[in-house]
Every structure is written in C-alpha cells, then in structure tokens.
C-alpha cells in the first residue's frame, strides 16, 4: 500500500511525517520557523521562510523513510494570512500571524458599530484580531497599490494551507478547505461560502480568495521539481480540526483537548446551534466529519495550561521539570482547599476577561509546594470542564468522551483527574502527533487508501481513563475561586474609573 506524507506547518516550525497505511510513522522531519516582531504587538513570518521550512522538513522525512509517498496531506496554523502574486507566487508582504494584535482597535470599532451578534450570527466568531479578516483589510489599506492589484486579480490572499498548495502545485491550484475558511471572518457558516456582505465590509475582492473544498479529496498534484515525484494532495485541515479528526472524533458529543502552553477544546455538536444573546463565550467553527465533509463544532480557547507549570518551574523555582508534577500531586490526598486560577494573561473561554489576573485562594500555614503544584494541575482540568459546561448550556449536547494530546497528556494522574472532573472517559493515544496524523488520515481517505474513517482509526491504540470520583465539591470551590479572580478584575476597573466604593 502507498505511504502518505503529512505536512504540519505550525507557528514556530514545520513537521513532516511519512505514514504507512497501518499508521506507523516511517520517517520524521522538522525545521524551526523564525518569527519577526517589527513593532510591539505585531507578529510576522517571511513567506519564503515558511516555504523553505516545508521543503527542508519534507526532504528530511523522505530521507528517513527511504521512500517517496504518493499522497500528501496538509495541516496548518490557522488565521495566519498571506498575500502573493497569482502568477509566479511572489509574496506581496510578510505573513501576518494569528498572534498579531495590530487590528485590535479596528475590531473594537466594528464591535461598537455593529454589535457582537453581527459577526457571531454569520461566522460563529467574535470581533478579534486573532482572525484573518481584519488582517486582509489592513494589507489592502496599508500596502501601496495592493487593492488595485487584488481587484484586477493579480494578487490573492489565503491562509497557510492555500499558500503551500499554490506553491507545491506550481500555481495550478488555488484552494482552501472549510475548516480554514471558517476562521477568516469572511465565511458564512450557514451557506458555507464566502459571505458577500462581509467581503464588502472588509473590502476584499471575491476573486482574490481561494475556492473552498471539503477536507478530504484530491485537489492537485505537486510539481515533480520539489520532491522528485508528483504527489496527489488529498487532505487539508486547520491544525486543531486535523487533531480532532485524527483522534477519531466524528460524532456529536465527542471532543478533543490539546494541552500545550494553553489548551484548545473542540467538541462536535451536530447542527449549528443557536447562539445566546450577547457576546459569545465560545467560538462556532467548522470541523471535519467522517468523510471530510464540513460539520459544526464549538471551540474553547484556554489561555494558560502548561504555561502555569512553566511558571512554577521558571518563575518560582518550585520544580525542576514538568515531569515532577505527577509524583507531587500523588503525594497528597488533595490541595487542602487551595485553588490556583492561572489567569496569568487574563481568562479565555468561557469568561473572556482580559483584565483578570492569576489568583491563589485558600492558603494556610499547612500549604506546601505540593499543594500549589497539584492546584495548578487541577486548574487545567477545571478549565476544560468550564468549556464543556458552556457547550452543554449553549447546545444541550453533553460530552460523551474526551480524546487528549499535548505535553500534559503524559501525566496519568492529571488524565484520571480530568476524567473524574468532566464525568466522561478520557482517551490518550499511543501516537501523540495527532495533528499530522489527522492530515495523513484525511489525505489517505481522500485518495482511497482507506475506504472509510474507521479503517484509518483501526491502527490507533488508546489508554482509557474511566471517571470515578465526580469531585463536585472541588469544582464548586473552583468556581468560587474564579469568582474571586473576576471580582479582582472588576474592582481594578472600578478603581480606574474612580467608581469603587
């Protein structure tokens, strides 16, 4: 059976895997990708550096595997946007990265003018510079002559997947998939097409945007000059959606959580749910169904997860490595009533309070470093439950199982605690590179290597953590602790305005 090449183009580097039809990884490659910070709050990539990192990582993986696959899948950092010449592919500007905040003021203006529901009802998103639409608007406004060139069709825009496919196919394919399109502020969740009213709002010519395709299916062939043979490109998905699909989450109630610096939870919810009034607490997005078709999901972004452990190590010197945390957590029966709300950079979903700050409550004379370390681990699990509870409140869909990946998933104590807190079984895969495997799986399905998604999943192995102690009292205490953090934020705002009494 033919092997598959998966390209995972991320914010700090590019990973390439050569995957066998039984799921074995035959070869790996990796290249770091520099970021550029021209001004405070601005984050950019050089497009040619993205391209070179992909070429280098792929060639390393092919060399390790000793073979050239027939099929290629791509997953990518979402929301990062590029502009380039349709003929020849020369970049028109540096890529503006998803972390970039240069359009924050514009987003505030739009929210004040149009309200939060205007964008939520159409796209499922919120007014935030995280997403691509205001980045494209900024390029059209600030780069001399770019608007005229885009209106003529000479310059085009796209997320990283579109840029790579255009380059890999020698300019023959100009496409994206629904998962990436849904992160742009330009995509209508109901029609699943580019929204004419939003294109007009941001001044984006429709001809400058790629064709939207499903995530599994052949959309082009790579130019033989790159890797010595043409490969069919047959899978595309944004990184979090690729990980969701690679974990085998294809039915409502299934979710995955990636524990990294922060944590990202995506949960399938079936038909797109109605949103509550006011500013959305979760983001509606498009995920991949079992055949690569677009399906509805809700996403919660947790700002601080593993970063709290890094702070305990680097900021306080309480631990020498993250690996110590499991033994310290097991060394005590509980936190002794201690709670740590890791709002070190504000609180993300479902609270969305940028002014909240890290809060530790319940300290006594008996508090030790073990209690604080365990409280930091428990906070990860509690934050995930906060998102799960918000999904149920907005949609009525309850969590049935949670698949996990990322660095903290290696902590068996935390995974058992997570299962207890959310009241559902937690599955940890044998291969942790779920993002790249998801891209490989979609490509293999799209190219006919696997007849169904279930065939792809058969080779995967999971360790399951079954819920035991529900820990409702602990979660109630966590909600009180979050209330304390939010009260501090509100109090600070009152002092700033001179209204606190």
Q: Is residue 484 in a domain?
A: no
Q: Give pLDDT tens digits for 96-112.
A: 988 788 888 898 899 99
Q: Is residue 256 in a domain?
A: no
Q: Which two tokens stand for residue 305?
A: 């997860």
What pLDDT does residue 354 have?
72
Return the number of other C-beta atoms located less than 10 Å from residue 473's C-beta: 8
Residues 232/248, Cβ–Cβ less than 8 Å? no
Q: Give pLDDT tens digits for 418-436.
A: 999 999 999 999 877 788 8
Q: CA 145 to CA 239: how far, in whole Å? A: 33
Q: Is residue 202 in a domain?
A: yes
Distances (CA, A) of 158 to 67, 133, 177, 208: 31, 11, 11, 9
pLDDT above 60 (res 7): yes
Distances (CA, A) of 52 to 168, 232, 238: 12, 20, 20
pLDDT above 90 (res 394): no
Find the helix or strand (DSSP H, E) in which 265 lies.
strand 263-270
Residue 64 backbone class (left: φ over 0; alpha: ψ -120 to 50; beta: rest)? alpha
Residues 6+ positions from 406 with CB-CB distance below 8 Å: 257, 258, 259, 260, 263, 305, 306, 432
Q: What is the DSSP string of 70-127?
A: SEEEEEE-SS-EEEEETTT--BSSPEEPTT--TTHHHHHHHHHHH-HHHHHHHHS--S
- For residues 51-63, average pLDDT: 95
CA–centroid distance for 129 within its chain? 15
Q: Is residue 491 in a domain?
A: no
Phi, psi of 156 (to 5 degrees): -125, 165
pLDDT above 80 (res 212): yes
Q: What is the mean pLDDT of the chain?
A: 89
Q: Give pLDDT tens digits for 433-488.
A: 788 899 999 999 999 988 888 888 887 788 999 999 777 889 999 999 999 999 88
| Residue 315 per-residue DSSP state | I
What pLDDT does residue 147 have?
94
Q: Which of 407, 416, 378 is nearest to 310 (CA)?
A: 407
pLDDT band of residue 276 (cuts 50, 70, 90) is low
Return the number of other C-beta atoms located less than 10 Å from residue 112's C-beta: 9
- Domains of the chain: total: 1
Q: CA 346 to CA 354: how far, in whole Å? A: 4
Range of the domain at 64: 4-241
Which region among 174-178, 276-280, 331-335, 456-460 has the lowest average model confidence (pLDDT)?
Answer: 276-280
pLDDT above 60 (res 495): no
- Report the chain's C-alpha Rg in angstroms: 23
Q: Give pLDDT tens digits for 344-377.
A: 878 888 988 877 888 999 999 999 999 999 999 9
Q: Is residue 154 in a domain?
A: yes
Distances (CA, A) of 168 to 63, 120, 259, 320: 19, 34, 31, 44
Q: Is residue 442 in a domain?
A: no
Residues 6+ positions from 333 with CB-CB distance below 8 Å: none
Q: Which two tokens stand for residue 45?
A: 């990539």
pLDDT band of residue 501 (cuts 50, 70, 90) is very low
Greatest alpha-carbon span in the chain: 72
Find the CATH number of the domain harbouring 142.
3.30.420.40
The structure's pTM equals 0.86
Q: Give pLDDT tens digits for 182-210.
A: 999 999 999 999 999 999 999 999 999 99
What pLDDT does residue 144 have?
92
pLDDT above 80 (res 42): yes
pLDDT above 80 (res 251): yes
- For residues 386-391, average pLDDT: 92
Q: Which residues of 483-492 are buried (b: 16+ CB within 10 A; e: fewer)?
A: eebbebbeee
Q: Is residue 247 in a domain?
A: no
Q: Is residue 89 in a domain?
A: yes
| Residue 36 per-residue DSSP state | B
Residues 50/10, Cβ–Cβ less than 8 Å? no
What pLDDT does residue 496 have?
44
Q: CA 261 to CA 120: how far, in whole Å? A: 27
3-state secondary structure string, 2-16? CCEEEEEECCCEEEE
pLDDT: which is higher, 234 or 272: 234
pLDDT band of residue 169 (cuts 50, 70, 90) is very high
Phi, psi of 391 (to 5 degrees): -60, -45
Residues above pLDDT 70, as percent of the chain: 96
Distances (CA, A) of 209 to 154, 178, 296: 12, 13, 22
């Amino acid at each position: 059976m033919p092997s598959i090449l998966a390209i995972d183009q991320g914010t700090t580097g590019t990973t390439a895997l050569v995957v066998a039809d039984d799921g074995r990884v035959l070869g790996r490659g990796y290249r770091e990708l520099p970021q550029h910070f021209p001004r405070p709050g601005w984050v950019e990539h050089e497009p040619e550096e993205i391209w070179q990192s992909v070429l280098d990582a792929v060639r390393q993986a092919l060399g390790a595997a000793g073979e050239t696959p027939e099929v290629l899948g791509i997953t990518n950092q979402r929301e990062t946007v590029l502009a380039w010449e349709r003929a020849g592919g020369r970049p028109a500007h540096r890529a503006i990265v998803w972390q970039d905040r240069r359009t924050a003021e514009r987003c505030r203006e739009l929210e004040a003018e149009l309200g939060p529901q205007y964008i939520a009802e159409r796209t499922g998103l919120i007014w935030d510079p995280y997403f691509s639409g205001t980045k494209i608007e900024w390029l059209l406004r600030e780069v001399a002559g770019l608007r005229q060139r885009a209106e003529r069709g000479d310059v085009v825009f796209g997320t990283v997947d579109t840029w790579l496919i255009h380059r890999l196919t020698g300019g023959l394919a100009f496409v994206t998939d629904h998962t990436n399109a849904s992160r742009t502020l330009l995509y209508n969740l109901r029609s699943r097409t580019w929204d004419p009213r939003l294109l007009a709002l941001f001044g984006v010519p429709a001809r400058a945007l790629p064709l939207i395709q499903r995530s599994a299916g052949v959309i082009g062939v790579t130019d033989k000059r790159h890797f010595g043979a043409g490969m069919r490109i047959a899978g595309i998905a944004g990184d979090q959606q690729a990980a969701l699909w690679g974990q085998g989450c294809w039915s409502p109630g299934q979710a995955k959580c990636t524990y990294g610096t922060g944590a990202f939870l995506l949960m399938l919810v079936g038909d797109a749910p109605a949103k509550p009034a006011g500013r959305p607490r979760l983001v509606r997005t498009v995920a991949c169904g079992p055949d690569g078709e677009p399906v509805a999901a809700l996403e919660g972004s947790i700002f601080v997860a593993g970063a709290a452990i890094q702070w305990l190590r680097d900021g306080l010197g309480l631990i020498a490595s993250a690996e110590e945390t499991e033994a310290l957590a097991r060394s005590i029966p509980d936190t002794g009533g201690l709670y740590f709300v890791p709002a070190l950079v504000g609180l993300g979903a479902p609270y969305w309070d940028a002014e909240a700050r890290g809060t530790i409550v319940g300290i006594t004379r008996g508090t030790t470093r073990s209690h604080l370390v365990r409280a930091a681990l428990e906070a990860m699990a509690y934050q995930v439950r906060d998102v799960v509870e918000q999904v149920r409140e907005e949609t009525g869909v309850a969590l049935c199982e949670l698949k996990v990946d990322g660095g903290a998933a290696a902590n068996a104590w935390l995974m058992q605690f997570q299962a207890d807190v959310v009241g559902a079984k937690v599955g940890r895969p044998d291969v942790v590179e779920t993002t790249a495997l998801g891209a490989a799986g979609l490509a293999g399905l799209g190219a006919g290597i696997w007849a169904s998604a279930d065939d792809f999943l058969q080779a995967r192995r999971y360790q399951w953590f079954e819920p035991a102690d529900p820990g409702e009292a602990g979660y109630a205490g966590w909600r009180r602790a979050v209330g304390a953090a939010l009260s501090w934020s509100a109090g600070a705002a009152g002092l700033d305005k001179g209204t606190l009494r």
